[in-house]
Chain A
Amino acid sequence: MSGPIVGVIGILVMFAVLFLLRIPAAFTMMLVGFLGVTYVTSFKAALGMIGPDLWNIFSNYGLTVIPMFILVGEFVHYGGYNNSLYYATYRWFGHYKGGLAITTIMACAAFSAISGSNTATAATMSSVAIPEMKKYNYHPMLNAGSVAAGATLGVLIPPSIVLVVYGLYTGQSIGKLFFGNVIPSAILTVLIAATVFYICYQHPEWGPKGPKSTWRERMKALPEIIDILILFAIIMYALFTGVVTATEAAAASCALGLAICLIRRKLTWKGFIASILDTLRISCLVFMIVAGATIFGRFLAVTRLPFEAASLISSLDLPNWILLWIILICYIIGGCVMDALAFLLISLPIFFPLVMAMGYDPVWFGQVVCIVTTMGSIMPPIGICCYIVAGMAKDIPLGTVFRGSLYYIPAYIISMAILMLSPYWTVLVLSDLVK
């Protein structure tokens, strides 16, 4: 049996194990990767590979940025900044039709500027936004859908765990990826907010107007979000100047975040312990997915499947943009059936060399992939953000959350199309500035 065929069989076996045996995605990739290397080389060679490989991943300096970015988000979350952010943005947007939904999206965007996780953003914002929208008789689809779509910004807006993992996996600068992400994040945030306007235009009764705040109240609410802006600015400035590593920037913002929470007496001892425990759990999850994908990627490399697939697809007489859309459709389908980060890491060994062979910029491709990955978290049947929102809003069924979220899918597609139309003005104009 030729190497690439073994690779294809390996992928099929991995999906079979994943779907039928209920083994976690990270363990499955690791196990199938290990057995695949054993088959292609030998058991001894596979054993010799896996020990050092796991040590190298666990002790990878670049990956230590992950627990730090998760920890700062957790401190801010348990410090109760979600409430401050929500009510500050409410003062500015609450009086429009669908204003509470727009408030939710803007507050999600602000929270995402310090949290790299969509699940944390979904859980945090659900607890504040859903009861408020219920109070003003918002339609459940607009209510839950806006929280789920807003929460996806958690993995898009820097610091983004998806971009960190992408950067480390493909050897791209985290600073360039974060700066290149500023305009795409802004585009998607505006488009998601515009979707709310569209929904309220179509169904005016879904999002009634809230009371209007005075200018005095609006200005008074601003200091509530200054802490978050300071933390975000520190991370971005440090990465922009390149004077510190991404881990150091994340650690410094973490220490500062903790200091601010303590000085303002926002973080309790219980909240502090919960922050640490959540950080350990989420970091472990991400590290194990990276480890699993690395070992599975090694197996694919041994079979030469990625190289053969890249040369086969590049030999097809199709324009690059069609090939790119085919890849993105694979990501959309993949995001529907399994966790987006796991699918991203499984697919990168195959798609990344192909995209590079087509001549696309790796930083730009990272942004496109990040948006499509983000979209996966609200796509049925396994969109994680929808599950969290449905779990938090006990009386809104999961189906309603998914239906409400589907309104926002065009926003993601349009964002990707805009990025494709002008890679320079949407991504590279800022990423190229990073030293």
Chain B
Amino acid sequence: MEILERINNFLNKWLVVVGGIAVLALMTLATGNVCFRIFGAPYRGAYELVSFLGAVVTAFSLGYTQKRKGHIVVDILSETFSPGVKRVVDSVSYFITMIFFAIISWVICRWGLRIAASGEVSETLKIAYYPFILCVALGFAFLCLTLIMDFLNALLKKGGNPAS
């Protein structure tokens, strides 16, 4: 269990590092394009690259945000539950969401591989963009992994963690 936790933390940490670099790259690229435009030579591919970087930023933060319990939960009713009931409810909700995001990760991965096989490229830069789709699939896979950890924690530890 502890080893799993450590692996999850390590992998999510690296994903966040890449996500952080992506957000700074996004800022630099979009700002650079403003400067290029002032000099009458905007970079045509900026629009596409910014979009792809945006996808990386969000996808690679999915696991980290879940780990920090950063998503909004409406606990107005569930606050009144006893700790035991909360633990059961949390286990069920983690289990459902973990299955759901595993499916989503698999669907996006399959779709990305299909795009790769078809040789589809982006409109302006004419580059293969399937790696970015696979990054989104990877982000959801790490969200799923974090939910598995949350599920195991809620199931095995006394009290359990709240869903958020």
B70 proximal to A (CB < 8 A): yes
For window 1-59 of B, CB contacts with A under 8 Å fall at: 16, 19-20, 23-24, 26-31, 33-34, 37, 47, 50-55, 57-59
Residue-wise interface mask of B (88-112) relative to A, using a CB-CB cutoff of 8 A (1 in contact, 0 not): 0110110011001001100110110
A285 proximal to B (CB < 8 A): yes
The contact of B20 among A52, A68, A280, A381, by CB within 8 Å, is A280
A150 proximal to B (CB < 8 A): no
CB <8 Å contact, A285 and B65: yes
**Set of chain B residues within 8 Å of A248, measured between Cβ atoms:** 30-31, 33-34
CA distance A54 to B133 in the complex (A): 10
From DSSP, what is the main secondary structure of chain B's interface residues? helix
B23: min CB distance to chain A, Å: 5
Say whether, besides A31-B96, A68-B27, A284-B58, A19 and B68 are in contact (CB < 8 Å).
no
Residue-wise interface mask of A (279-315) relative to B, using a CB-CB cutoff of 8 A (1 in contact, 0 not): 1111111011100000000000000000000000000
CB <8 Å contact, B57 and A24: no
CB <8 Å contact, B72 and A21: no
B17: min CB distance to chain A, Å: 10
A255 proximal to B (CB < 8 A): yes
CB <8 Å contact, A58 and B54: yes
The contact of B163 among A22, A54, A285, by CB within 8 Å, is A22
B146: min CB distance to chain A, Å: 12
For window 93-140 of B, CB contacts with A under 8 Å fall at: 93, 96-97, 100, 103-104, 107-108, 110-111, 132-133, 136, 140
CA distance A255 to B26 in the complex (A): 11
A23 proximal to B (CB < 8 A): yes
**Set of chain A residues within 8 Å of B30, measured between Cβ atoms:** 64, 68, 247-248, 250-252
CB <8 Å contact, B111 and A20: no
Chain B contributes a number of interface residues (CB within 8 A of A) equal to 60
Residue-wise interface mask of A (1-38) relative to B, using a CB-CB cutoff of 8 A (1 in contact, 0 not): 00000000000000000111111111100110010000
CB <8 Å contact, A63 and B104: no
From DSSP, what is the main secondary structure of chain A's interface residues? helix
Say whether, besides A21-B89, A339-B72, A58 and B136 are in contact (CB < 8 Å).
yes
The contact of B76 among A34, A283, A284, A337, by CB within 8 Å, is A337
Interface centre among B29, B68, B72, B76 (most CB of A within 10 A): B72
CB <8 Å contact, B24 and A288: no
CB <8 Å contact, A284 and B62: yes
A269 proximal to B (CB < 8 A): no
**Set of chain A residues within 8 Å of B96, measured between Cβ atoms:** 21, 23, 31
Q: How large is the interface on A (under 10, 10 to 19, 20 to 34, 35 or more residues)?
A: 35 or more
CA distance A55 to B104 in the complex (A): 11
A67 proximal to B (CB < 8 A): yes
**Set of chain A residues within 8 Å of B73, measured between Cβ atoms:** 22-25
B65: min CB distance to chain A, Å: 4
CA distance A60 to B96 in the complex (A): 28
A254 proximal to B (CB < 8 A): yes
A151 proximal to B (CB < 8 A): no
CA distance A396 to B46 in the complex (A): 49
**Set of chain B residues within 8 Å of A26, measured between Cβ atoms:** 71-72
**Set of chain B residues within 8 Å of A285, measured between Cβ atoms:** 65, 70-72
**Set of chain B residues within 8 Å of A250, measured between Cβ atoms:** 30
Residue-wise interface mask of A (229-265) relative to B, using a CB-CB cutoff of 8 A (1 in contact, 0 not): 0000000001000011001111110110010000000
Which residue of B has the minimal Cβ distance to A25? Answer: B72
CB <8 Å contact, B104 and A54: yes
Which residue of B has the minimal Cβ distance to A21? Answer: B93
CB <8 Å contact, B89 and A247: no
**Set of chain B residues within 8 Å of A31, measured between Cβ atoms:** 96-97, 100
A340: min CB distance to chain B, Å: 10
CA distance A280 to B13 in the complex (A): 12
User: Other CB < 8 Å A-B pairs besides A21-B163, A284-B64, 11 of them?
Assistant: A21-B78, A22-B73, A30-B100, A31-B97, A55-B55, A59-B51, A59-B52, A64-B54, A248-B31, A249-B34, A281-B64
Q: Which residues of A contact B (CB under 8 A)?
A: 18-27, 30-31, 34, 47, 50-52, 54-55, 58-61, 63-64, 67-68, 71, 238, 243-244, 247-252, 254-255, 258, 273, 276-277, 279-285, 287-289, 337-339, 342, 381-382
Q: 14 A-B contacts, Cβ less than 8 Å apart? A: A19-B76, A21-B89, A22-B78, A23-B73, A25-B74, A61-B51, A64-B53, A64-B57, A68-B27, A280-B20, A337-B76, A338-B74, A381-B76, A382-B76
State the 5 A-B residue pairs at the shortest beta-carbon distance, nearest first. A251-B30, A24-B71, A64-B54, A284-B61, A280-B61
